[in-house]
Structure 1
Amino acid sequence: MITINNTTQKKWSVYLADDDVTDQEIFRDALKEIDTPLTLNVFNNGIDLLTRLENSETQPDVIFLDLYMPKMDWSDCLIKMRENPLLDYVPIIVYSTEFDIDRIEELFEYGANRYLRKTASFDSLVSSLDRTFNSLKRNANSAPALINIVV
């Protein structure tokens, strides 16, 4: 668990499930660049993520989920999270290099709230994360985040 951007604003609890250590580091570094205080918990696979979700007294404010990880298919992980009523209002953002509109549509059908494409540009990732958190903040008191794609 890492605390990022410590201020008096609401501190977001963020979970990232991604098996690629380099992608984890880039994601963490990009989060440090946005103006949102948060605590980041990183999981190397969907099973570890689900275990934490099932055994924790509190739920995260948002979950970022990589599509391709070992031990559990993305669809199984996403379905299991959406079967848990405690996660009904937790936005799940798929975070992947893949950009296939049919696949993205399928992700939304399984319960993803947003698709965030991994980009080769660090600045693009920072901008996408900033827009994502601004959207989540706007929706935090009303309903789950709107379904949309950030590329």
Structure 2
Amino acid sequence: MPLHTIWLVDDDTDDCMLFEDAIAELGVALSIVCVADGADLLNKLRQATRPPDLVFLDVNMPIKNGMDCLAEIKRDEQFIRLPVVMWSTSGQPDIVEKAYRLGARLFMKKPHNFNNLKSLLHGILQLDFQLHGSLEDFVVGK
């Protein structure tokens, strides 16, 4: 079975490192690719031989923000089924509603501590990988 890949699109390098650390501590066999902004994501998607299994997309970024990027992804027939989880420091209802209206699979408010991040990621991965089997199928060393 090929290694599953998550692309994290976030201009904050600290958030990227915390995300990678949280995934590593979950002990799942995933490849994490960090992308700095929405424009770079769209370029990488169009050049990829295999799209990611899941994209986490920050709402607030320079160059191309997450909402504009999400809208562009969902207009492209090649990527319309690409699962996107929007994540943001804001959980304002209008932002959340817009994300779902544009086609986000989930909206995740960035947690304030590492353990909460791990718990949220664990839940999201369990939900997403139900299509491929349980999360435990991806535990390193099994």
TM-score, normalised to structure 1, is 0.82
Give the conservation status (yes or no) of the 8 Å contact 1:10–1:37. Answer: no
How far apart are residue 140 of structure 1 and its match?
4.6
Name the residue aligned to 2:80: 88
Percent identical residues = 28
Name the residue aligned to 2:136: none
Alignment of 1:1-151 (within 5 A): 11-140=3-132
The one-letter code of the counterpart of 1:82 is: K
Q: Aligned partners of 1:88 and 1:22: how far apart in 2? A: 29
Unmatched runs of 5 consecutive residues or more in structure 2: 134-142
Deviations 1:48-67 (A, max 9, x none): 11000011121100000001
User: SS state of the match for residue 33, structure 1?
Assistant: helix
Give 1 or 2: higher helix fraction: 2
Q: Aligned partners of 2:78 and 2:53: how far apart in 1? A: 11
User: SS state of the match for residue 86, structure 1?
Assistant: coil
Please, what is the CA RMSD of the aligned residues? 1.5
Give the conservation status (yes or no) of the 8 Å contact 1:45–1:71. Answer: yes
The one-letter code of the counterpart of 1:42 is: C
The one-letter code of the counterpart of 2:46 is: E
The one-letter code of the counterpart of 1:59 is: P
The one-letter code of the counterpart of 2:84 is: I
Highest RCO, 1 vs 2 (Cα 8 Å, sep ≥ 6):
2
Deviations 1:9-36 (A, max 9, x none): 7621110110001111111111111142
Q: Aligned partners of 1:107 and 1:68: how far apart in 2? A: 12
Query: How many pairs were matched up?
Result: 133
How far apart are residue 101 of structure 1 and its match?
1.5
Give the conservation status (yes or no) of the 8 Å contact 2:66–2:86. Answer: no
Deviations 1:84-113 (A, max 9, x none): 222232210001110112210111001111
